[in-house]
Amino acid sequence: MDNYLPINSNSLRTDTQIGCDLYLYVKTIADSRYILYCRGDTIFENRKREMLLDRNISRLFIKKDDQQKYYEYLENNFHEIITDARIPPDERTKIVYSAATNLVKDLFNDPRAGSIKRTKTFAYNMVDYILLEGRAARSLLNIAIHEYYTYTHSVNVAAVGTLFAKELGFEDEDLKHFCSGILLHDVGKTRISTDILNKKGKLTKEEFDEIKKHPEMGVEILKETGNVFTDEYIVTSQHHENYDGTGYPRGLKKDEIHRCGRIARIIDVYDALTTDRPYAKAIRPFAALVEMKEKMLNCFDKELFVEFIRFSGPYDPRAKPRNGDYIQN
């Protein structure tokens, strides 16, 4: 079984070519084995789906080596999958998260124009999903992977940030640009040594100075694609700017920082605190909000931070502010 991975059969559209072989797992008293159900170079016909439904089979399997082909299939058919009412909302959410994670992983392995354009297209579709599903899309917050990798961090921040921006009343088009920017916000780290990024101990001054270059490096990468990513530049360049002017790379403060940059700063810190990083274990959402308030409040727009606490409350009741305790104006 180590050579095979389960997939949800609901993610497969009829009359499409999947691109990788699909297997059934058959277990008998004598043995268990994988049986080829549909070849990747043939059409996944409706009769194949109906047979699975008749037998109440929701899982098929693919070979591990074909995982990338399956994710490419999800990405190419993403809009149709997320609008398919036959797929339960929680399953659609898992598809969104897994496809986004694979996409951003590809981006960080090869941050060229094609990968960046794919990321932008995916971000727009991800926003369509969030708008379509409404509050059900908040389940994205519950499946975030709590082990820190640059690519999972980008997906987590995009999910939380986009849902928060929607709550703040962003228009649909602005929401799409923001989601795209926040998926791309750490692309500059592709030019930072992994020895520095994954270091478990405290960074030296020289190493931290290198880390501080990644926002501007990210903008350079976006500009090198030859495409115009004006809105994405803002999030990429400003997600480490602090409200009191102590951030980097430009030391902007207050309204000098675009609203999207101020939102990204809050979400970026929150996700970093609530995931396992090389140098620190994850802390609970409530504890993260308290730490942000008590030790880092100078970094954030206070009004937006209060809104974020209110936003966080419904999916973590411990995060709800009580009697204005979190913020003293």
Domains and CATH numbers, the chain: 1-65 (no CATH), 77-319 (1.10.3210.10)
Interval 277-287: pLDDT, tens: 777 788 888 99
Q: pTM for the whole thing?
A: 0.84
Phi-psi group of 275: left, alpha or beta (phi > 0 → left; psi -120 to 50 → alpha; rest → beta): beta
∠ CA(97), CA(99), CA(104), 5° rounding? Answer: 95
For residue 144 the two structure tokens come to 């975030």
Residues present in the chain in total: 329
How many other CB atoms sit within 10 Å of the CB of residue 149?
Answer: 19
CA distances from 263 to 179, 241, 300 (A): 12, 11, 8
With CA atoms as reference, report the closest residue to 240 among 164, 130, 175, 157. 157
Interval 176-215: pLDDT, tens: 999 999 999 999 999 999 899 888 888 999 999 999 999 9
The pLDDT, as a whole number, for residue 79 is 86
Interval 26-56: pLDDT, tens: 988 888 999 999 999 999 999 999 999 999 9
With CA atoms as reference, report the closest residue to 233 among 216, 245, 248, 247. 216
Model confidence at 96: pLDDT above 90: no
Q: How far apart are CA 127 and CA 181, in angstroms?
A: 12
Interval 103-159: pLDDT, tens: 888 888 888 878 888 898 899 989 988 888 877 677 787 766 555 567 788 888 999
Mean pLDDT of all residues belonging to the chain: 87
For residue 52 the two structure tokens come to 């699975």
Q: How far apart are CA 249 and CA 256, in angstroms?
A: 13
Q: How far apart are CA 181 and CA 178, in angstroms?
A: 5
Place of tokens 């070849």: 39
